[in-house]
Amino acid sequence: MIAALVNRILPFSSVDGPGNRTVFFLQGCNFNCGYCHNPETIHVCNNCGACVSACPTGAIRLVEGKVTYQRSVCCACDACLRACPRDASPKVDVMQPEQALGILSGNLPFIRGITVSGGECTLQRDFVLALFRGAKHMGLGTLLDSNGNYDFEQDEELLPVCDGVMLDVKCADPDAHRTLTGQSNELVLKNLAFLASVGKLEEVRTVVVPGVLPNEDTVRQVCAGLAPYWAAGAPIGYKLIRFRPLGVREGFRSVPVPNDESMEHLRGIALQAGCANVSIL
């Protein structure tokens, strides 16, 4: 059984890797970041049914004790997400790799690749592996978007069919990381070094949250780790993402957006470390 819970499919995207790509967002994450801007993707539905009565169109129903979702009837009002007590979107499709590949082949020849994101897609690793194998068979590029809490080094099958990982490094300081995500960053930092060393690090992303995270320390540590690879010409990008209070949960709604000056300062650090491709979003 390698079906996955798919939260959303974007048939075309210009912001999830090089060129035009189809993006699969999988449901469920093993981090629980306070600033997550789509917290409804974190948990998996436990069929409590709280969303059923909130749904104005009948797209969500309880069938034999299970919450079911009919995309064609949905009006995208998100009332279900507001009603959910545990940040688990009911708007997911259970999908076999074959179905996902069928959708993907319908997007040929307009795309150069596929990106799998989340949630944390490595939680549904078998599905991702099957999807990537099929995508490679179609001649497509394969990128994976990860929070880094997965031991890529121990997986001998996944990286050979994955062109690269877009890795979130949220915080280099272990304690601050645990406070933000609820988990250790030991694996994340290991992956930063490991993926760079095997040429599978597509880019690193850090969300800059003023006053909450030691942003400069994180950027400096990422840069220190990647400087030798940049010096050797590895085209690893670094995306510095402004925190924005859109879609976030209660505790982060009053956190300010970082100003241009502080973002430029961080960009300067990455440029100085030799990164040729730093972008601010």
Partner 1 sequence: MNIEQEITQSTLRIVGDTSLTHEQAMMNLSKIPGQFVYGFLPPQGYGRLLNQGVLSDLGEGYAPICPRYILPDYDLFLKKGCSFLRIDPPKDLFEAIEALKMFYRHIPSITNFPVYLGRLDRMLEPFIRDEAEARRLIRHFMIFLDRTISDSYAHANIGPEATLAGEIILDCDYELQNATPSITLLYDPAITPDAFAARCARNDLACAKPSFANDAVYKNAYAGEYGIASCYNVLPVGGGAFTLARLNLKAAAEQAQSTEDLLERVLPEAVALNCAFMDEKIKFLIEKSLFFRSNFLAQEGFLHLDRFTGMFGVVGLAECVNHLETLEGRAGVLYGHSGAADSLAHRVMTRLTELVHAYQSPYCAVSGGHYSLHAQVGLDIDIGVSSGARIPIGDEIELYAHLRHAGQFHPYFHSGVGDIFPFEVTAKRNPESMVDLIKGAFSVGMRYFSAYASDADVIRITGYLVKKSDIEKLARGEAVQQDNVIWGLGEVQNSHILDRKVRSL
Burial letters for 171-183: b for 16+ Cβ neighbours within 10 Å, e otherwise?
bbeeebbeebbeb
Compare residues 193 and 241 and give the one whose CB is closer to partner 1. Answer: 241
Q: Which of residues 5-44 bind partner 1 (CB under 8 A)?
A: 11-15, 18-21
Among the listed residues 46, 66, 110, 174, the single contact to partner 1 using CB under 8 A: 110
Q: Which of 48, 42, 45, 47 is nearest to 25 (CA)?
A: 42
Q: How many residues does this entry show for the chain? A: 281
> Using the rule CB under 8 A, which residue among 63, 65, 76, 109 binds partner 1?
109
To partner 1, the closest distance from the beta carbon of 22 in angstroms equals 10
Structure tokens at 4: 């996955």
For partner 1, which is the closer residue by CB, 112 or 249? 112
Single-letter amino acid, residue 68: T
User: Which among 246, 253, 147, 249 is positioned nearest to 205, based on CA atoms?
Assistant: 147
| Binding window for partner 1 (CB under 8 A); candidates: 41-49, 104-112, 121-129, 255-263 | 104-112
CB 266, min distance to partner 1, A = 19
CB of 112 or CB of 244, closer to partner 1: 112
Q: Which residues are CB-neighbours of 61 under 8 A, at least 6 positions away?
A: 52, 55, 67, 68, 70
Contact segment (CB under 8 A) with partner 1 among 61-69, 110-118, 124-132, 204-212 equals 110-118
Phi and psi, residue 19, nearest 5°: 65, -165
For the bound state, the minimum distance from the C-beta of residue 45 to partner 1, rounded and expressed in Å, comes to: 28
**Cβ(80)–Cβ(51) below 8 Å:** yes
Find the binder of partner 1 among 56, 58, 85, 106 (CB under 8 A): 106
Interface with partner 1: number of residues (CB under 8 A) = 16
- Name the site residues for partner 1 (rule: CB under 8 A): 11-15, 18-21, 106-112
